[in-house]
A and B are shown apart, each in its own frame.
Chain A
Amino acid sequence: MSIHLKTAWGHIRRVPFQALAAIFVLSITFFVITVISVLTYASGKALQYFETRPQIIAFLKDEATPEEVTSLEESLRSDVRISDVNYISKEEALEIYKKATSDNPLLSELVSPSIFPASLELSLVDLSFAEDVINEVKKLEIVDQVGFTASLGGEDTLTDVVNRLRTITWYIRIGGGAFAILLASTSFLVLIVIIGMRMTTRRGEVEILDLIGATPGFIRTPIILEAVIYSLIGVLVGWLLAFLLVLYATPTIISYFGEIPVLPRDTLQLFMLFGIILGGEFLMGLILALSGSILAVSRVKTR
């Protein structure tokens, strides 16, 4: 193996501009692929956030017993139109209020837990069910009032936001995917061209190795390795650049999006996300290099 690596390195060193061209194209490809992956992840997360936000709040009467609440919660949970049910006690409601008014301590001191009713927050599978669900829940014994939180002020409803996000996500996936495929194809062609050139410039060497009994595998290995080296360097450089860019921008992104978790807040999780992307890209780079070089090598061999 190491003699092949040595041979491959020898070739790379002798044609630094070809090597640079290959590495440049591959770096750009994997930079873009990394960025698109992160964007896809972020838009998916944002969509998920809005989709799973509670859209209906059923405030419960104070006289409702815990058993009644539990049984209601259970029956709502089994409703196919409702994706999630969350119980908020009086104390939790106060906590939420306090947090929301933390920059104005006077406001929070004025209230006592008793003025906040306990409530059930409902997330719907689809917002078209909202009206029916609200009407049904309103009729229940222990329910006091029902609020619809899915209007975000102005004319915007949550439905609009979700729909717009869906479109954006779709564009990112389709557009980004197409762009990534275009770049990957370019890299593939550049690799084939460079490996093809290598086969031609090495013809004399190939002939000698063939005559002293080298197997086709022995002859091809350094050439394929060369492609793999370009590819792996490309992955590493492209990924690293994108990673640094995201790391640099993370504080801004997080403060801009507030509680919408477009990027993992936890550093470890962020690293994991990038680790997974890197792993996928290594695999992709390997497949690109292997298929490209094997194709180029076999084309030249069958002259």
Chain B
Amino acid sequence: MLEVKQVTKSFGDIVALKDVSFKVDDGEFVFITGQSGAGKTTLLRLILRDLVPNEGEILFDGVDISKLPKKKVPKLRQNIGVIFQDFKVLNDQTVRENVEIALAVVGLPRQEWEARVDHVLQLVGLSERADLFPSQLSGGELQRVSMARALVVNPKIILADEPTGNLDWETADKIMDLFEKINKEGKTILMATHHKLIIDKMKKRVIELKAGTVLRSDKETKSDEANVKSDSHEAKKQKTNN
């Protein structure tokens, strides 16, 4: 469903990504990891067409999104659920309204909103907080608002940038359980994180970036074989089990 082909992205002299290639299949759960500044956020922004690569192609369902005309960008983004590291919630809207706005954006008829919103709020455990404003919520709760908003439109793929970035281990664990659940429902998930514990625990496919290049990736042979750890085999095993 997603194929990144020899993508290079630089900001002036800074090369954020260099010759990055990988492929993600439908229903996969992929971690993108690497040190700070390795290019994880840049990669996700490229997929969201928030940035355009200098070289290479990004195929989403066979369409090269880097060449997508500006007019078609909203449609692309409506098919992608994004969970931002800094939440990006609307501060003057309640939790419910923050989730509803995503449905309004995709143009879902109003009468279908309530059931959908109730369902995702239930899923992320915010049913009781539906009428609160972001300023009244904790960090983890805000993270879950961001998640609910991404999930409510039923996107094909979910991009999550450090969704556990500023959460304690327990809360992060709970959030990860949620992602696991969503993934089991068939959603493709691409998650940028450097939370080692989580990656080890989840045993999913990992794409590791280092200074803008792919250090390892289970599917591609480009990366250094020696670096591939046992967890990637397990991830494959798990995938065949599913």
A residues in contact (CB < 8 Å) with B: 2-3, 10, 14, 205, 207-209, 211-215, 218
B50 close to A214 (CB less than 8 A): no
A205 close to B90 (CB less than 8 A): yes
Nearest Cβ distance between residue A112 and chain B, in whole angstroms?
82
Residues in B whose Cβ lies below 8 Å from that of A212: 77-78, 82, 101-102, 105, 149
The prevalent SS among residues of A at the interface is helix
Contact of A214 among B48, B74, B80, B100 (CB under 8 A): B74
9 A-B pairs closest in CB distance: A213-B77, A213-B78, A214-B105, A215-B74, A3-B104, A213-B74, A208-B88, A213-B105, A212-B102
A10 close to B92 (CB less than 8 A): yes
In addition to A3-B100, A213-B74, 7 A-B residue pairs with Cβ atoms within 8 Å of each other are: A3-B110, A205-B90, A207-B88, A208-B88, A211-B88, A213-B76, A218-B105
Taken together as a complex, chains A and B put the C-alpha atoms of A205 and B104 apart, in Å, by: 15
Identity of the chain B residue whose Cβ is nearest the Cβ of A214 in the assembled complex: B105
Contact of A213 among B75, B84, B100 (CB under 8 A): B75
Residue of A10, A205, A211, A218 with highest tally of chain B CB at under 10 A: A211
* Interface residue range, chain B: 20 to 34
Taken together as a complex, chains A and B put the C-alpha atoms of A215 and B149 apart, in Å, by: 17
Taken together as a complex, chains A and B put the C-alpha atoms of A213 and B73 apart, in Å, by: 7
Q: Which of B53-111 contact A (CB under 8 A)?
A: 73-80, 82, 84, 88-90, 92, 100-102, 104-106, 110
Residues in B whose Cβ lies below 8 Å from that of A2: 110
Taken together as a complex, chains A and B put the C-alpha atoms of A213 and B159 apart, in Å, by: 14
A209 close to B105 (CB less than 8 A): yes
B92 close to A213 (CB less than 8 A): no
Residue of B78, B80, B104 with highest tally of chain A CB at under 10 A: B104
Taken together as a complex, chains A and B put the C-alpha atoms of A264 and B73 apart, in Å, by: 58
Taken together as a complex, chains A and B put the C-alpha atoms of A215 and B105 apart, in Å, by: 8
Nearest Cβ distance between residue A43 and chain B, in whole angstroms?
51
Taken together as a complex, chains A and B put the C-alpha atoms of A2 and B106 apart, in Å, by: 15
B residues in contact (CB < 8 Å) with A: 48, 50, 73-80, 82, 84, 88-90, 92, 100-102, 104-106, 110, 149
Residue of A2, A10, A213 with highest tally of chain B CB at under 10 A: A213
Residues in B whose Cβ lies below 8 Å from that of A213: 73-80, 105-106
From known contacts A10-B92, A205-B90, infer whether A211 and B100 are also in contact, taking CB-CB under 8 Å: no
Q: List 26 A-B contacts (CB under 8 A).
A: A2-B110, A3-B104, A3-B110, A10-B92, A14-B92, A205-B90, A208-B88, A208-B90, A209-B105, A211-B48, A211-B77, A211-B82, A211-B84, A211-B88, A212-B77, A212-B101, A212-B102, A212-B105, A212-B149, A213-B73, A213-B74, A213-B77, A213-B105, A214-B105, A215-B74, A218-B104
Residues in A whose Cβ lies below 8 Å from that of B78: 212-213
Residues in B whose Cβ lies below 8 Å from that of A215: 74
Identity of the chain A residue whose Cβ is nearest the Cβ of B149 in the assembled complex: A212
Residues in A whose Cβ lies below 8 Å from that of B79: 213
Nearest Cβ distance between residue B153 and chain A, in whole angstroms?
8
Nearest Cβ distance between residue A237 and chain B, in whole angstroms?
28
From known contacts A10-B92, A14-B92, A205-B90, infer whether A211 and B102 are also in contact, taking CB-CB under 8 Å: no
Residues in A whose Cβ lies below 8 Å from that of B74: 213-215, 218
Residues in A whose Cβ lies below 8 Å from that of B90: 205, 208
Residues in A whose Cβ lies below 8 Å from that of B88: 207-208, 211
Nearest Cβ distance between residue B104 and chain A, in whole angstroms?
5
Taken together as a complex, chains A and B put the C-alpha atoms of A14 and B48 apart, in Å, by: 32
Nearest Cβ distance between residue B174 and chain A, in whole angstroms?
24
Nearest Cβ distance between residue B134 and chain A, in whole angstroms?
12
Residue of A2, A3, A207 with highest tally of chain B CB at under 10 A: A3
Residues in A whose Cβ lies below 8 Å from that of B76: 213
Taken together as a complex, chains A and B put the C-alpha atoms of A292 and B75 apart, in Å, by: 28
Nearest Cβ distance between residue A213 and chain B, in whole angstroms?
3
Taken together as a complex, chains A and B put the C-alpha atoms of A108 and B50 apart, in Å, by: 94
Identity of the chain A residue whose Cβ is nearest the Cβ of B93 in the assembled complex: A10
Nearest Cβ distance between residue A131 and chain B, in whole angstroms?
74
Identity of the chain B residue whose Cβ is nearest the Cβ of A14 in the assembled complex: B92
From known contacts A2-B110, A3-B104, A218-B105, infer whether A211 and B92 are also in contact, taking CB-CB under 8 Å: no
Residues in B whose Cβ lies below 8 Å from that of A14: 92
Nearest Cβ distance between residue A35 and chain B, in whole angstroms?
40
Taken together as a complex, chains A and B put the C-alpha atoms of A208 and B149 apart, in Å, by: 12
Identity of the chain A residue whose Cβ is nearest the Cβ of B110 in the assembled complex: A2
Taken together as a complex, chains A and B put the C-alpha atoms of A214 and B149 apart, in Å, by: 13
Taken together as a complex, chains A and B put the C-alpha atoms of A273 and B56 apart, in Å, by: 67
Taken together as a complex, chains A and B put the C-alpha atoms of A218 and B104 apart, in Å, by: 9
Taken together as a complex, chains A and B put the C-alpha atoms of A173 and B84 apart, in Å, by: 60
Taken together as a complex, chains A and B put the C-alpha atoms of A14 and B149 apart, in Å, by: 24
From known contacts A14-B92, A214-B74, A215-B74, infer whether A209 and B101 are also in contact, taking CB-CB under 8 Å: yes
